[in-house]
Homo-oligomer: A and B are copies of this chain.
Amino acid sequence: MNNMIAWLLSGVILAAPTVLAAQWQALPNEAPAPADNPTTAEKVELGKMLYFDPRLSSNGTVSCFTCHNVMEGGDDHRPTSIGVHGQAGGRNAPTVWNAAFLSAQFWDGRAATLEDQAKGPPANPIEMGMTSLDATVERIRHIPGYKPYFDAVFGGEMSITMDNAAKAIAAYERTLITPDSPYDMYVKGDTQALTEQQVRGMDTLAELGCTACHSDANFAGPPLPTGQPFLQKFPSFSDNPFVADYRLMDDAGRMNVTHEPEAKNLWRVQTLRNLAYTAPYMHNGSVKTLEDAVRIMAKTQLDVDASDVQVADMVAFLGALTGEFPRQEMPRLPPTPGDLLD
């Protein structure tokens, strides 16, 4: 009988799908928080208010939500984003979903944390257009209804600071994670969670080498110390028509941050999760379909001409990376003094 059980168990293990390989990991149900900014319900609520508040932009029209729409893919469904006064930026809005799992933020990894990232757009002239972060803080202070919330979360005489606002926004963003996709359920043992084609696509992704970079639970690279982005050159192989057709080398990427030639066209590796919601693709939003994105990545990063079947299989698998978006209640924003915006 013991032998029988041992035999059965060994059979189960032998017949287990490839998902049991260590490379395939499910997304955790919670995102880690830094020691100096623990996630609390009150902080998340305040952060949600700030995240949705367009009054943090110069003319009151642009909020975090504008370009990172959490009712959809956490981006803005545009090739590149539009900030105050109708100004278009140069890059595609990265999704906020699961950004909490990244070791650095922005396409070029120039912000170490979600807290740092939140301090970028407010004073960017073509994003939220405030003259400075001090002006942003003054704007928040001019809305009396915010003070009780900041006081309750952060205490102190001067609870409304940019650092605290950024901490609250980051705390909210750490709740924006999408576990339990079909892929996650499959990894956790539900062998019915993926279709045969999706399993083939998953294998193809590994065989071609995509998962060398798009690795780990968030398919965005290995765990790295906070602030150290997982960077790769894109395109790695530039001897193909895609580079010109999609203007893939027009933006120097990381070199804009470090100003060192070796950083030219380096980019933070993006997550593969929820891609069904985040078209168009690439740092410049130039690629309209997931089929094209997969084909282009195979060629430019691996010098592989993926077959139609391989592309279809991988796209099918990527569809299995759409997770459960948490239900969210709308925040209530405090009233506006009539002299806030002219």
* Chain A residues near B (Cβ < 8 Å): 52, 54-55, 59-61, 66, 69-73, 76-79, 82, 84-87, 276-277, 279-281, 287-290, 325, 327-342
25 contacts between A and B (CB under 8 A): A52-B71, A54-B76, A59-B82, A59-B86, A60-B78, A60-B82, A69-B333, A70-B330, A72-B332, A77-B336, A77-B341, A78-B341, A79-B341, A79-B342, A85-B86, A86-B86, A279-B335, A279-B337, A279-B338, A280-B339, A288-B338, A289-B338, A328-B329, A328-B330, A329-B330
Selected from B78, B79, B276, B337, the residue in CB contact (under 8 A) with A335 is: B276
> What is the chain B residue whose CB lies nearest that of A280?
B338
Instruction: Please tell me if the beta carbons of A327 and B325 are within 8 angstroms of each other in the complex.
Output: no
Contact of A336 among B66, B72, B334, B336 (CB under 8 A): B72
Chain A interface, DSSP helix/strand/loop, else mixed: loop
A281 / chain B contacts, CB cutoff of 8 Å: 338
Please indicate the chain B residues that have their CB under 8 angstroms from the CB of A71 in the complex: 52, 330-333
Chain B, residue nearest A60 (CB): B78
Given A78-B341, A289-B339, A329-B329, 8 more contacts at CB 8 Å?
A60-B77, A69-B333, A71-B330, A71-B333, A79-B341, A86-B86, A288-B339, A330-B330
